[in-house]
Structure 1
Amino acid sequence: MLRIPLRLLLFLCSFSLLAQEYFPKNDGVKTTNSNYTAFTNAKIYITPSQIIDNGTLLIKDGKVVASGSQVTIPKNTTIVNIEGKSIYPSFIDIFSDFGVEKPKRESGGGRSPQYNPTRTGYYWNDHVMPENHAISKFSFDSKKAKELLEAGFGVVNTHIQDGIVRGTGTLVALNTEGGNDMTILEQNSGQYFSFSKSVTSRQSYPGSIMGSMALLRQLYLDAEWYAKGNSSTKDLSIEALNQNKNLVQIFDAGSRANALRADKVGDQFGIQYIILGGGDEYERINEVKATNAAFILPVDFQDAYDVENVYLSQSLALSDMRAWNQEPSNPKVLADNNITFAFTTHDLKSPKEFKAKLMKAIEYGLSKEKALEALTTTPAKLLGKSSEIGNLNKGAYANFLITSGDIFDKKTKVYENWVQGTQTVVNDMNSKDIRGDYEFNLAGESYKMTLKGELSKLSSEITSDDKKRGSKVSYDDDWLSIAMTTKDSTTQEFVRLVANVSQGNNLNGKALFPNGNEMTFYAKKLGSKSTDKTDDDQEKDDDEDDDIKVKKVIPVTYPNMAYGFKELPKQETLLFKNATVWTNESEGILEQTDVLVKNGKIVKIGKNLSDSSATVIDATGKHLTSGVIDEHSHIAAASINEGGQNSSAEVSIEDVIDDEDIDIYRNLAGGVTTIQILHGSANPIGGRSAIIKLKWGEDAQDLIFKDSPKFIKFALGENVKQSNWSSFERFPQTRMGVEQLYIDYFSRAKAYDALKKSGKPYRKDIEMEVLSEILNKERFISCHSYVQSEINMLMKVAEQFNFNINTFTHILEGYKVADKMVEHGVGGSTFSDWWAYKYEVNDAIPYNAAIMHNAGVVVAINSDDGEMSRRLNQEAAKSVKYGGISEEDAWKFVTLNPAKLLHIDDKVGSIKVGKDADLVLWSDHPLSIYAKAEKTIIEGVTYFDIKRDEMMRSQIKKEKAELINEMLLAKNKGLKTQPIKKKEKDQMHCDYIDHESH
């Protein structure tokens, strides 16, 4: 006779489908005294590489007393036999905000920017807060602790995730029964940084990534000056920064590009950051490895896109599709390159997602040992706590997990998580795993049933005649009870099923019908299909073939996007035969001429040239020119304007070069080989320029023109006096105010330079250093300009301080003052025919370039536009029509003349022996609208080839189709998907303002 416990019978009497159930839980063994507790017969992972089979873990007073296969157990010991189970060190999250509420942005405020700080006695910038301490904001969050404990974590390193310098973090043990004296392992466990501003201040500076980098550099310089006792005022922020310098320094970069930028700042000051990455480190693994930094890796791998809508899927960028495929391989790539890394739950919606995400990394080749290291010994070592956490050696905290088996097996359950000897039951280790598929018969009807989810929160699906029956299930103390709706669901009556599951895989018990009848209940378990996943898990178990398909990783290209190279193109020896050669030199245009390129240089020009080692290119009927040079561009940069204050000489575009900007490739297709990336025109004194060669596929640093001259952007007119802004707080507000600002800044720079040269102690100021370079004629000015009165004004200011303006860019009223420009020695880089797009260009005319040229000004045609830049050859041709400029001189407007303005004409700008082999082979006359760049070559490397481009288009189409098919398969298997959101690429111009979320 079936014996049913009285408490279960009472429960069944009151069972309702909507009732809230309660069962007393088996909490297992609790150590409520100071006796020893020994866990015996377990597989113990003392460290990821030190594993004991059939071992014993002995703990007392929250710490490990001994662990191993030969442990002497004292008499006063509670012994827990966990034969067949495993013990692991609890996990550590080194980057968390546990128990620290994220600051909120203050409400109110208008469009008017805030330029001054809100605090006194602290650093001049509100976003620098090293004096903040997470411990002062910390409050133990029991709910979040439970989630982390269930995910396997025992210790978290938490901090205030706000600001550029965020202050110190706090190391916390997730001991739900301990007071602060137990849970706080280290009050000041590290110092945190980022490039993102604080939400608690509206101070406008910095407003860009390059501004954040400049601020950090100046802060470190100021800290060095302060530490030497040179400051006359007390600064609590700098004092805190200096006090924290011996702590672990952790930088929230959030992407591969920002990680490299953070490391660049750190290297300058001898600081080795631990860097929170973005999961895209695999794209430039050699550069990442060269940082010598340890990384904290998020595991928020992307879901597949929902690509069922054919039209929407066409808008998906190949780089986004690849990210879904490639990101899970990131940890393996770092491990293969011996880069130290730890994992974090950062950016996950819930810690519940962590295991499924981590399992994906393991499926993509990450070894289980490396995965365990990244969760235990590595974060412990990075925090300087290897003797206390992350292992189960003698003396370490008793932070450990009891599992049903291999922690990285999908079917393995975490039973208990002990932190400092305090037990948290995740799943009752004495409960039998009854999840799976069953079939049974009742009263002549056949049923199919699936039990799934966490054992503590089982759910059931029951069908009969392919119709789903409503059901609710409870499982406790080896007793299973199910309430199932009757066939006539309108009656709201239930069949109640009760079974004991202590023996065998099948279910044996009773069925109780609404009319009081009873009958035997028997459910047979089917097969071994895994139902180990919870309702919240992102993936379903797949068969072997599906797993193999998911694991296929698309090879990385350089850059890792459409038109990227599988292997970077190599420098070649090239011989162009029978070309029409536009030399831009005294020889002029040479017909049926050969040009030999070797070792990245032009080595011979003439007829009937030969070289047995050269690749011969038949250029018959084609035109060979030097590469197009754009004096004024804003492509290939992650920031353009730092408009947070009226001078930003301290920032540099070289810090924010974007080597993945597709406009680099598009410009190559238009014959462009060199550009100057200028700062924008948000302020009178802008930032420093970057002159780059468009070496598509190379990393950001390798794009920079070697030994390039130093330039800076200045600006005049409506933009800098904020004509269209609502702010009346920032000086200047008028054109005469702009003049006074220049005089003020150069006066300060002159005094600074004199002090520096005197040999007396001085506080290094990056902004003043740059302006001093202008005074010393070591840095050149490209100035955004329109109106003749302002053009005259700036030339006079420069002459007052004994230097020259190098280039007026835009210069749409240059034709009015061309004679004065020649007298001053300044060049003009202008548009071909832009006008009437704002008030101060009303007097622009298309003859401007010709008039300046005829007066003796060195004239260039520039783009200031990512679209126009790839057809500058056609823009140059307009000067033939407007002003009668010769074809050769017009061509120089986009080649030799901009090279002269940039002081690089000794290397590029013409076809001359000894110059860099930066060449373009055109299908037609280069000034013709029909001309196509068939080959664009930089230093003997072919970065664009029109035939190769056709092949790449076909390959891109094929790869997209393959990835779309994989995503459709993923959705069909029940994996989560994300909607397609069309992304518009920002087209940056002079007035482009960075997004606040940098």
Structure 2
Amino acid sequence: MNEILKTTTFMTHPFKHVLLAFTVFCCCLCSLSTLHAQRGRPSSQTPLKPVSKTYALTNVTVVQAPGKVITGATVLIKDGLIAAVGTGIDIPGEAIRLPADSMYVYAGFIDGLSHTGVPRPKEEEERPRVEDPGNPPNELAGIQPERKLFDLLDPQDKAIADMRAAGFTAAHAVPRGRMLPGQGAIILLSGESPEEMVLREGTSLFSQLEGARGLYPTTVIGVMAKWRQLYRQAKLAQKHERAFAAQPTGTKRPVQDPVLQAFYPVINQQMPVFFRAENLLDAHRVLTLQNDLGFPLVIAGLKQGWDLTDKLKGSNIPVFLSLDLPDNKDKDQKGEKADEKGPARGEKPTDAEMKALKERRMKAYHQYHSQAAAFEKAGIDFGFATYNAKAKDLRTNLRSMIEHGLSEEVALAALTTRPAHMLGLSAVMGTVEPGKMANLVVTDNPYFAEEANIRFVFVDGNKYEFEVKKKKKGDPSAQVNAAGKWSYVTQTPQGSSEGTIVIEGEPGNLSGTITNSMMEEARQLDEVELEGNELRFTFSVDGGGQTMLIEVSGIIEGDTFEGTMSVGDFGTFELTAERSPTPNE
């Protein structure tokens, strides 16, 4: 598959109304441009042009590749490349010596599938009317395989900085859309233009089992039928083009069809189809399609593959497992609310039913988090995909996978050497070796250690430095009172937003509201929990029939609160609050 990759040199935003509602709520958050999902914070988004492009990292532990370590080493970077690695290396006079003593150097991480660099498209005010919903125009049906990522790439997309802060230096990025959004490309997470960022265009045909809304194909079965139709039409169209090229006299001129022509490299086994298949059923459907049509396949974003190991083992089908994992909170999960009712509608569930529900949830939680370990045990190579995952959660999720049986060596391989091999990039990245691109991650402790912080990231030799911001830790034994009226401020790159949080009740039975001057009424807080001095709660913003869950957590010290407000895909913001004195004080 890597040899295949080496040879290749109309969507609407469903959360528009939610984002509008949240914009009203937080005033200043209408333009979410640059946030950093890491305890360390980049000192600048675009690195200042240094006096020299030569850097030296001295007395560092270099993890050249999983299981291959050099201690007390020097890494010399020059003109965007790794110039030397090892001990006893002469450092040229023009080199900038970085304060990295006793730190750890890894190859930059490689993302197997993401939308990094591709912002969400703006929703049109009115969708065009379609005369025949059963045969809509391709762009409205989500069939745009001819689209190139280069034309959609935005170097200012905030996800680039977020992923870079998490240690990722390159990504297989794909367009947004539905059934056939377009073609993927390998991009570097640095650069001021698409020309600087794109390393290799046309590396994949991206597809997913997502139908169009209100238009054919709407259902998964419809998408699969349309896929077969397009693939077979493309084979016939290519055959016709070849016949015309060989003997134009007496042969009808072929019609140029960019949609069908986008399938030609796939038909010729020169470009793989990266199929996003998160659950077991979709994975089986994708494998059925591939078996019927014979195209080169990569399964990406897999979340429920623990029952697929026997089928995938020996298939030579590359797999990128999802880094988007469920958390371990004992709370309602999407789609499970109906399960919490007893046999009769509206009846309160019994203790036995609640126990069974919690057991099912915990079993599912462990299955998701131990999926990578199951693949390792089965001897199946895999990489990781960050598709739909939050950058701030990636290392936490990786550590959880390790706690559930994945070895650190294989985890590192899935971030570096394996995606490099699967994407045909081994000659230029994936290991810390002379001659390869200077894509590096430098940490102050071993990367998978809880206390580790990323201090430097190099992308194509461009240096990004990160300050370590010490995060306050909660004290489970502390006894604090959360009740009261709190005046809060949220901080964003665009400014600040102020409001009021009211907490009532006692620990174990807390409730509250949140409001600001832009809101017509207060919003109810949900899941208000106080564990020691750590306060957590959620609230929802509704708009256009859609709901966005906003999560707040932080530490109470006396009458002050310091924490964060997490707003789904739109970022995480600092939030501080002070409690107002009671009338008797």
Q: TM-score, normalised by structure 2?
A: 0.64
Any idea what SS the aligned residue of 2:399 has? helix
CA–CA separation in structure 2 for the residues paired with 1:263 and 1:464: 53
Question: Residue in 2 aligned with 1:366?
Answer: 406
Q: Aligned to 1:211, which of 216, 222, 236?
A: 222
Task: Report Cα offsets for 1:341-393 as digits up to 9, x if no partner.
Answer: 11122222x21011111110000110111111111111122211112222222
Any idea what SS the aligned residue of 1:237 has? helix
Task: Output the amino acid matched with 2:419.
Answer: P
Question: Residue in 1 aligned with 2:323?
Answer: 299
Where do residues 883-902 of structure 1 align in structure 2 (5 Å cutoff)?
Answer: none
CA–CA separation in structure 1 for the residues paired with 2:236 and 2:283: 27
Q: How far did residue 252 of structure 1 move?
A: 0.9
CA–CA separation in structure 2 for the residues paired with 1:74 and 1:112: 69
Any idea what SS the aligned residue of 1:282 has? coil
Q: Aligned to 2:82, which of 44, 58, 64?
A: 64
Question: Residue in 2 aligned with 1:84?
Answer: 102
Query: Could you tell me whether the CA contact under 8 Å between 2:118 and 2:157 is conserved in 1?
Result: no
Question: Residue in 2 aligned with 1:139?
Answer: 154
Task: Report Cα offsets for 1:737-785 as digits up to 9, x if no partner.
Answer: xxxxxxxxxxxxxxxxxxxxxxxxxxxxxxxxxxxxxxxxxxxxxxxxx
Question: Residue in 2 aligned with 1:221?
Answer: 232
CA–CA separation in structure 1 for the residues paired with 2:234 and 2:106: 43
CA–CA separation in structure 2 for the residues paired with 1:222 and 1:40: 58
Task: Output the amino acid matched with 1:329.
Answer: S
Q: How far did residue 415 of structure 1 move?
A: 1.2
Q: How far did residue 315 of structure 1 move?
A: 7.7
Q: Sort the Cα spacing of 1:103 and 1:75 in 2 relative to 1 into closer, same or farther, 3 A.
A: closer
Question: Residue in 1 aligned with 2:551?
Answer: none
Runs of 5+ consecutive residues of structure 2 not aligned to the other structure: 1-40, 242-252, 333-339, 341-347, 489-533, 537-585
Q: Sort the Cα spacing of 1:318 and 1:178 in 2 relative to 1 into closer, same or farther, 3 A.
A: same
Q: Aligned to 1:185, which of 185, 199, 209?
A: 199
Matched, 1:115 2:134: yes
Question: Residue in 2 aligned with 1:413?
Answer: 453
CA–CA separation in structure 2 for the residues paired with 1:31 and 1:219: 49
Any idea what SS the aligned residue of 1:331 has? helix
CA–CA separation in structure 2 for the residues paired with 1:147 and 1:289: 34
Task: Output the amino acid matched with 1:84.
Answer: S
Question: Residue in 1 aligned with 2:145?
Answer: 130
Any idea what SS the aligned residue of 1:373 has? helix
Query: Could you tell me whether the CA contact under 8 Å between 1:34 and 1:61 is conserved in 2?
Result: no
Where do residues 867-946 of structure 1 align in structure 2 (5 Å cutoff)?
Answer: none
Question: Residue in 1 aligned with 2:464?
Answer: 424
CA–CA separation in structure 1 for the residues paired with 2:229 and 2:354: 46
Question: Residue in 1 aligned with 2:290?
Answer: 266
Matched, 1:197 2:211: yes
Where do residues 21-40 of structure 1 align in structure 2 (5 Å cutoff)?
Answer: 32-40=50-58
Q: How far did residue 406 of structure 1 move?
A: 0.9
Query: Could you tell me whether the CA contact under 8 Å between 2:211 and 2:219 is conserved in 1?
Result: no
CA–CA separation in structure 1 for the residues paired with 2:368 and 2:477: 39
CA–CA separation in structure 1 for the residues paired with 2:454 and 2:370: 25
Q: TM-score, normalised by structure 1?
A: 0.38
Q: How far did residue 321 of structure 1 move?
A: 4.2
Task: Report Cα offsets for 1:531-574 as digits up to 9, x if no partner.
Answer: xxx999xxxxxxxxxxxxxxxxxxxxxxxxxxxxxxxxxxxxxx
Q: How far did residue 38 of structure 1 move?
A: 1.3
Question: Residue in 2 aligned with 1:337?
Answer: 378
Matched, 1:170 2:192: no
Task: Output the amino acid matched with 2:331.
Answer: D
Question: Residue in 1 aligned with 2:420?
Answer: 380
Q: Greater relative contact order (Cα 8 A, min sep 6): structure 1 or 2?
A: 2
Any idea what SS the aligned residue of 2:175 has? coil
Any idea what SS the aligned residue of 1:281 has? coil
User: Matched residue pairs, number?
Assistant: 417
Q: Sort the Cα spacing of 1:25 and 1:365 in 2 relative to 1 into closer, same or farther, 3 A.
A: closer
Task: Output the amino acid matched with 2:200.
Answer: E
CA–CA separation in structure 2 for the residues paired with 1:270 and 1:71: 51
Runs of 5+ consecutive residues of structure 1 not aligned to the other structure: 1-23, 429-453, 473-533, 537-998
Question: Residue in 2 aligned with 1:257?
Answer: 281
Q: How far did residue 298 of structure 1 move?
A: 1.1
Query: Could you tell me whether the CA contact under 8 Å between 1:259 and 1:277 is conserved in 2?
Result: no
Task: Output the amino acid matched with 2:429.
Answer: I
Query: Could you tell me whether the CA contact under 8 Å between 2:185 and 2:200 is conserved in 1?
Result: yes
Task: Report Cα offsets for 1:87-114 as digits up to 9, x if no partner.
Answer: 1112111211122234466645799971
CA–CA separation in structure 2 for the residues paired with 1:464 and 1:355: 28
Task: Report Cα offsets for 1:960-982 as digits up to 9, x if no partner.
Answer: xxxxxxxxxxxxxxxxxxxxxxx
Q: How far did residue 319 of structure 1 move?
A: 5.0
Matched, 1:158 2:169: no
Q: Sort the Cα spacing of 1:464 and 1:191 in 2 relative to 1 into closer, same or farther, 3 A.
A: closer
Question: Residue in 2 aligned with 1:326?
Answer: 367
Q: Aligned to 1:282, which of 299, 303, 306?
A: 306
Task: Report Cα offsets for 1:43-63 as digits up to 9, x if no partner.
Answer: 011222322111111111121
Task: Output the amino acid matched with 2:286.
Answer: A
Question: Residue in 2 aligned with 1:41?
Answer: 59
Q: Sort the Cα spacing of 1:416 and 1:35 in 2 relative to 1 into closer, same or farther, 3 A.
A: closer
Q: How far did residue 458 of structure 1 move?
A: 5.5
Task: Output the amino acid matched with 2:354.
Answer: S
CA–CA separation in structure 1 for the residues paired with 2:254 and 2:72: 66
Q: How far did residue 145 of structure 1 move?
A: 2.1
Where do residues 458-537 of structure 1 align in structure 2 (5 Å cutoff)?
Answer: none
Task: Report Cα offsets for 1:848-902 as digits up to 9, x if no partner.
Answer: xxxxxxxxxxxxxxxxxxxxxxxxxxxxxxxxxxxxxxxxxxxxxxxxxxxxxxx
Q: Percent identity?
A: 24
Matched, 1:240 2:262: yes
Any idea what SS the aligned residue of 1:165 has? coil
Task: Output the amino acid matched with 1:258.
Answer: D
More strand by share: 2
32-41 vs 70-79, which moves further: 70-79
Query: Could you tell me whether the CA contact under 8 Å between 2:165 and 2:454 is conserved in 1?
Result: yes
Task: Output the amino acid matched with 2:155.
Answer: F
Query: Could you tell me whether the CA contact under 8 Å between 2:441 and 2:456 is conserved in 1?
Result: yes
